[in-house]
Chain A
Amino acid sequence: MSANRARVVVTGLGATTPLGGDVTSTWSALLAGRSGVESITEDWVDSVPVKFAGMAAVDPAEVLPRPEARRLDRSEQFALVAAREAWADAGKPEVAPERLGVVVSSGIGGIGTTLSAYDVFKEKGWNRLSPFTVPMLMPNGPAAWIGLDLGAMAGVHATVSACASGAEAIGYAMDMIRSGRADVVVAGGTEAAIHPLNIAAFAAARAMSTRNDDPQGASRPWDRERDGFVLGEGAGIVVLESEEHARARGARIHAYASGVGYSSDGHHITQPEPEGRGISMAMTMALKDAGLSGQDIKHLNAHGTSTPAGDVIEVQAVAKAIGTHPLVTSTKSMTGHLLGGAGGIESVFTVLALRERIVPATINLNNPDDGIEVDLVHGQSRALPDGDLAAINNSFGFGGHNVTVVFQGA
């Protein structure tokens, strides 16, 4: 770590997830080991082979004023709700617009709007489309609306890397602060992809669990009986700030965001590379960026999506790059997989684990698969040790994108 580079701290947290409409309710559900996965009751469920998902616990359209909600895609609604929570949690920092940035991503963007607007177009014609159709479907829409809400002028960005998008956004935001472009950056990920076309398409890729007789048992990372991921929706947002700026205003600091590592597999468009070399590389680079060694990492919130191929490859790479000692969990066992939102909510969870010194257990993990040496937290939550703490959030995406973010206790 270069000596003159700004250190980045996390001063605000916001989330809306299948477990709760805010950070507090989501975190208590995680510690209680609750599943946010439910059967889908929409008429279209008969047309798809997967009949459950992690629907948001609180409908964002019910939280936002109606005139605002109707101009926003659901992915934008989630992002705005979580960003406002994070901003309030950070104490609504006073910052010059020129020093405030936003990096918020979605893996798929406003696909709900794209599909419903196409129906309106076909059935009623072009002049029945909302004039807000384009800003609702564009994948930079969530970042742009948050930027407008806060008056950010230092740059509003949307990094897109499928299920690594949210983590990549947080890494990019850290880099904005460390390179001196901004003092405060609102960052994270959002997704609203529970639509029959998306479910059909992921099912066509043979990526989803079809455990229709047991939806809450479907997301079971590392378990021998796992059969694919479970789709979830929502958003997770953090407020990042240079340490100097946060200290000067006396802000409460949840954690340091101290390192980020990026890599790509260079292997296959959807399949993980069997040796996990790209994953190891992301983790190794993130450690180096943070100026830490593997021994310093006490906890890891894994990508762990519950797919047969990916889960074990990831923790074998963890054993190589970090060691077998960190307490490893996959909160996707409870939230489902939020795609571009995953890196956002799981960064919030990683920060909370450091702050509260406790790791929520992976649920449904009854019989760990072969070839796993790391310390998987299952059965019940486990306390983190006394002393200095650092933790990792991993996110990987279709396309072979790997992002590792390192957080340290404040």
Chain B
Amino acid sequence: MAVSEQEILEGLGKIVNEITGIPASEVTPEKSFVDDLDIDSLSMVEIAVAAQDEFGVEIPDDQLKNLKTVKDVINFINA
């Protein structure tokens, strides 16, 4: 079932807020998790675990390291 980009963005915003405390409104497509949002690698794993549950997709570790920006994750989930 296809999910809109906007729905994925909102879902990611909630997940990032839950895990890091960063306001969901700061989670916008162009942001880099590491450089802009200051999220470390273990937090990225937590986000991936939550995203897998939320969106029903598998994110293997070798793919996760390529997901630099919020837009990358949205595209991966939508692919």
- Residues of A that sit less than 8 Å from B by CB: 65-67, 70, 124, 127-132
Contact = CB atoms under 8 A, between A and B. Distances in A.
Given A65-B21, A128-B53, A130-B49, 17 more contacts: A66-B21, A67-B18, A67-B20, A67-B21, A70-B18, A70-B19, A124-B53, A127-B52, A127-B58, A128-B49, A128-B52, A129-B49, A130-B46, A131-B42, A131-B49, A132-B42, A132-B46
A66 B58 CA distance: 26
Contacts of A67: 18-21
A130 B42 CA distance: 9
Contacts of A129: 49
B46 A66 contact: no
Contacts of B45: 131
Interface of B: 18-21, 42, 45-46, 49, 52-53, 58
Contact of A131 (B18, B20, B46, B52): B46
Contacts of A131: 42, 45-46, 49
A66 B23 CA distance: 12
Contacts of B18: 66-67, 70
A115 to B, nearest CB: 18
Contacts, number: 25
Contacts of B20: 67
A29 B25 CA distance: 44
Nearest to B48: A127
9 closest cross-chain pairs (CB), A and B: A67-B21, A131-B45, A131-B42, A67-B20, A128-B49, A67-B19, A65-B21, A130-B46, A131-B46
17 contacts: A66-B21, A67-B18, A67-B20, A70-B19, A124-B53, A127-B49, A127-B52, A127-B58, A128-B49, A128-B52, A128-B53, A129-B49, A130-B46, A130-B49, A131-B45, A131-B49, A132-B42
B57 to A, nearest CB: 12
Nearest to B58: A127
Contacts of B46: 130-132
A89 B18 CA distance: 30
A70 B42 CA distance: 13
B69 to A, nearest CB: 21
A351 B67 CA distance: 54
Contacts of A124: 53
Nearest to A124: B53
A67 B46 CA distance: 11
A65 B22 CA distance: 12
Contacts of A130: 46, 49
Contacts of A70: 18-19
A128 B46 CA distance: 9
Contacts of B52: 127-128
Find the residue from A67, A130, A132 having the highest chain B CB count within 10 A: A67
A132 B42 CA distance: 8
